[in-house]
Each structure stands twice: as structure tokens, then as C-alpha cells.
């Protein structure tokens, strides 16, 4: 019988130690080092030993390497393709993380049911009947999706060899375990070993693998940090379970940009792709109301038009309230101080409430001008015309500062039918054929003249 070996791992960063110690030397965290059982066999491969063939790679001159663009697998999901950079790359390993109940399994099952390729969906958390019930709710349209409920990697690879799928989806990596490691599922050594086996399988067979990963209470993907370094793409599925919108971001992408953004709407029949989120984030009104302003913002590389709502009222109690939803409260206090100092508005004795509609959070400084416009509109009880929008940053001295990619914001506003956009005078704009009226302002007093 092989001797059982124990070793110590840091649960935060995955660093291995020969003995226990209080603090990890790599990440400097305390009390994160735990003992795990490890047993390394002579053979550790995704294939059975009988049909394993060793492949030796040879060095090539850089000008001999084929640099032609590799064909991608179309997922038939425009938002998922956008975030990945055009589709799934064959032989790649993609990791999808997100909070419990946010819709990770629903998203990948929905994509599996759309794919025209033979897909193997491996679930270690739900039974086949549970997945079937969810698939009936999503309305499957093909028979290329195969469901397997298994957590042992050796059994999974036997089914893969028999089925030969075009794409493999694992739900989730924390539930898998390998016979080559003695520790329990979800431990650092098990996650590293299972991921290594899946990477070897993906690279040798040119089959893409998509993993679902759990996250910790801090919002990080559970397991060692090396897991995110091992995979090719790391996706984050975000959203508030109290709202219907879900945002898909790429935190790491070896085959494309990390600035793209995918937006979904959660419905009873699954996740619906939102191709034009601006129309949903802007509320429909029968009449013009004060305290509303439209901002042209960017989420990654994607321009969005969002609605900023403000309510300014006389403070009932001695200390006025400052409340912001979806916006930085400290930045709101800064903008109120600028309005009082530079524009002469007495807001120190008034309650100010600010809200970004749609339940999203925005940290783009380019919405400063829209926030100021909404506050002034509510304070003076004068409605801003519905076809006005704003895109500029406000400085501490009241100057209107330029922003990046202003032309992209202007074109998005023009596409959605806005007639006037307020931007900084110091932005260099080279657009020639535009139907939208571009108002250039240099200080906050210029804005006051237009809307009051």
C-alpha cells in the first residue's frame, strides 16, 4: 500500500508548505494554512493507460508558426459571443463565476440547448430530472445536448471517450474529485488536480471546456488563485437577485478583449439577451417631470444611456440627508459642494436623494454632469427636455472636464433619437455628419443657463 502523504496548503492563494505555520509567506494572510492528504501515483492522465500516446512538442521558428485566425464555435448567443470575442475557441478552458442563484447554470444550460454541436453537460450538483425540468422551462430546440450527473473525473473521461462531444460543460469544478488525490471535493489539491486533467484533455483533443466556479463571501472565485491563472478565460456573472438584469463580464481573456459586456434579462423562461439596454434603463413617462436627466456612459466598450433621478426637498430634521443608490455617495457630496460654492445654490439645508434607474451601479465619472443637471432640475422644479442628454466630468473648481471616447457616446445618443448632448468644451470631437446638436460648455455656470 502506498504511503499516505500529508502537506499544507494556503486556502487563500494555494501556496504549499511542508509544515503548518500561522501566516502565509506569499499572501500574508493569517490562519489560512490547512493540512490535506495527498497521494501522488505514478500515472495521472485523463486517458486510460492503454491508449495513451506521448506527444513530444518541438521548437519552431517564430516565422514558421501559423498565425491564421482560429475558427471559433458560434454559441448562437450574441451577448456570450461578444464577451468571449466572437465565440468559443477550440481547446480553450473557460471559467464562469458568480453568486449563488444568479443564473450561471441556467445560462450555460440555455447555451447548451442552442448549440448545433454535440454538447456534454456534466452536473455534480443537480440530478438529471432537475436539469430536465429546467430545460423544459427554457424550451429546448435540439437533441444535441447530453446530460451526465457525475463527480468523479475518471468516470467523466470514460463517458467523454465514448460520446466524443464537441464541447464539455462542468457544473461545477468544486464538486469534482479525482482518484489521484485523497482529499475531499472542493479542497485546494482536488481543484488543482481536476483542473489540470481538464486542461490536458482540452489541449490534446482540441475540445473546449467551460467550468462553473463557486465564489466566496468576498466575491472571489473559491479555491486557489492559481485556478484563474490556469484557465484561458475568466467570466464573471453579476447582478442583483432583486432586479431582472444580469451582466456578464470578462476578467481575463487570452483570445479577446476584456472590455466587452453582455447584458441579460432574467425571465421565467430563462435569460433573454438584451441587445439595446438603453431603451430598458430609461423609464417611459407620459409627461415631463423634474429631477430626471439622461447620461451617456460606457460599460467596458459598450455605450449605454442611463437615467439619473434626483429629489431635493427641505430637510425636516436638523441634519439633511444625503442618499445615493447606484452612485458613489462621497462623489455626490463633492458635487453638492461644487454646486454650493461655484453656482451659488444653497443645498446645505436640503435633503438630496439620488437614484440610478434599473438597479445598476455606475462608477463612470462622465455621469457627473447628468447628476448635477438632475439635482438642479429637482431643486428648481423645472423639467429637463426629454431629448437632452449629458456626458462630462465635473471638477472641484466647477470646470467641465473632458472624458474618453466621447464620439462613441455621441453616436449612441444620436442613434436613440436624442436631439442635444452636453459635453466638455475641451473634448476633441472630429465628427462631421451628425444630426444631434452638440453643446460645448466649459464651466458649471453654463449648464445652469441652459436648464434653468
Question: What's the pLDDT tens digit per position in 185-206?
Answer: 888 888 888 999 999 999 999 9
Q: By CB neighbour count within 10 A (0-12 exposed, 13-18 middle, 19+ buried), where does 71 fall?
A: exposed
The reply to whether 268 sits in an annotated binding site is no
For residue 372, what pLDDT is reported? Answer: 95
User: Is 100 one of the annotated binding-site residues?
Assistant: yes
Strand order in the sheet with 33-38: 16-17, 5-10, 33-38
Higher pLDDT, 86 or 5: 86
Among 245-249, 252-256, 374-378, the range with the most confident prediction by mean pLDDT is 374-378
137-188 pLDDT, tens digit per residue, is: 887 777 889 999 999 999 999 999 999 999 999 998 999 988 888 778 888 8
Q: Can you tell me which residue has the cell 459571443?
A: 81
With cut-offs at 50, 70 and 90, classify the pLDDT of residue 15: confident
213 labeled binding residue: no
> How confident is the model at residue 52, as a pLDDT?
43
Q: Binding site annotation covers 99?
A: yes
> Is 98 assigned to a binding site?
yes
Give the phi and the psi of residue 324 in degrees, each rounded to 5.
-135, 130
Say if residue 102 carries a ligand binding annotation. yes
Residues 264, 280: Cα–Cα separation, whole Å: 11
Longest distance between any two alpha carbons in the chain, whole Å = 86
CA dihedral defined by 224, 226, 231, 235, rounded to 10 degrees? 60
Tens digits of residue pLDDT in 92-128: 999 999 888 888 999 999 999 988 889 999 999 899 9
Residue 51's pLDDT is what? 43
Tell me the three cell numbers of residue 149: 450527473
Q: Is 111 annotated as a binding residue?
A: no
pLDDT tens digits along 118-149: 999 999 989 999 999 888 888 777 788 999 99
Q: Is 191 annotated as a binding residue?
A: no
Strands (E), 345-401: 350-356, 388-391, 393-394, 400-401
Amino acid at each position: 500500500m502506498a504511503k499516505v502523504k500529508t502537506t499544507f496548503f494556503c486556502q487563500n492563494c494555494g501556496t504549499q508548505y511542508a509544515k503548518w505555520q500561522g501566516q502565509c509567506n506569499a499572501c500574508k494572510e493569517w490562519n489560512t494554512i490547512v493540512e490535506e492528504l495527498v497521494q501522488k501515483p505514478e500515472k495521472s492522465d485523463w486517458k486510460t493507460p492503454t491508449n495513451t500516446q506521448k506527444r513530444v512538442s518541438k521548437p519552431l521558428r517564430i516565422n514558421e508558426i501559423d498565425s491564421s485566425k482560429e475558427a471559433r464555435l458560434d454559441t448562437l448567443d450574441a451577448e456570450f459571443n461578444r464577451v468571449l470575442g466572437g465565440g468559443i475557441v477550440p481547446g480553450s478552458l473557460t471559467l464562469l463565476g458568480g453568486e449563488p442563484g444568479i443564473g450561471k447554470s441556467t445560462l450555460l444550460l440555455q447555451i447548451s440547448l442552442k448549440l448545433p454541436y454535440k454538447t456534454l453537460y456534466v452536473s455534480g450538483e443537480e440530478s438529471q430530472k432537475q436539469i430536465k425540468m429546467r430545460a423544459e422551462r427554457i424550451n429546448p430546440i435540439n437533441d444535441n445536448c447530453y446530460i451526465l450527473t457525475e463527480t468523479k473525473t475518471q468516470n467523466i473521461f470514460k463517458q467523454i471517450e465514448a460520446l466524443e462531444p464537441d464541447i464539455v460543460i462542468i457544473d461545477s469544478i468544486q464538486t469534482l474529485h479525482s482518484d489521484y488525490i485523497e482529499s475531499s471535493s472542493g479542497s485546494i489539491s482536488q481543484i488543482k488536480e481536476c483542473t489540470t486533467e481538464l486542461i490536458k484533455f482540452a489541449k490534446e483533443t482540441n475540445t473546449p471546456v467551460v467550468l462553473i466556479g463557486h465564489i466566496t463571501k468576498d466575491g472571489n472565485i473559491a479555491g486557489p488563485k492559481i485556478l484563474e491563472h490556469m484557465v484561458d478565460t475568466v467570466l464573471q456573472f453579476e447582478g442583483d437577485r432583486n432586479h431582472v438584469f444580469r451582466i456578464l463580464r470578462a476578467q481575463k481573456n487570452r483570445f479577446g478583449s476584456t472590455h466587452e459586456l453582455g447584458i441579460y434579462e432574467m425571465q421565467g423562461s430563462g435569460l433573454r439577451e438584451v441587445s439595446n439596454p438603453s431603451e430598458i434603463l430609461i423609464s417611459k413617462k407620459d409627461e415631463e417631470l423634474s429631477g430626471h436627466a439622461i447620461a451617456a456612459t460606457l460599460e467596458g466598450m459598450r455605450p449605454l444611456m442611463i437615467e439619473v433621478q434626483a429629489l431635493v426637498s427641505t430637510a425636516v430634521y436638523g441634519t439633511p440627508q444625503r442618499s445615493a443608490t447606484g452612485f458613489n455617495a462621497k462623489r455626490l457630496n463633492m458635487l453638492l459642494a461644487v454646486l454650493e460654492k461655484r453656482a451659488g445654490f444653497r443645498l446645505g439645508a436640503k435633503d438630496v436623494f439620488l437614484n440610478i434607474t434599473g438597479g445598476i451601479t455606475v462608477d463612470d465619472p462622465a455621469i457627473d454632469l447628468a447628476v448635477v443637471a438632475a439635482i438642479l432640475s429637482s431643486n428648481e422644479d423645472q423639467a429637463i427636455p426629454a431629448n437632452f442628454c449629458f456626458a462630462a466630468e465635473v471638477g472641484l473648481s466647477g470646470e467641465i472636464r473632458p472624458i474618453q471616447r466621447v464620439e462613441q457616446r455621441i453616436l449612441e445618443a444620436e442613434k436613440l433619437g436624442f436631439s442635444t448632448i452636453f459635453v466638455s468644451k475641451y473634448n476633441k470631437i472630429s465628427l462631421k455628419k451628425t444630426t444631434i446638436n452638440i453643446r460645448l460648455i466649459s464651466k458649471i455656470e453654463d449648464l445652469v443657463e441652459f436648464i434653468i
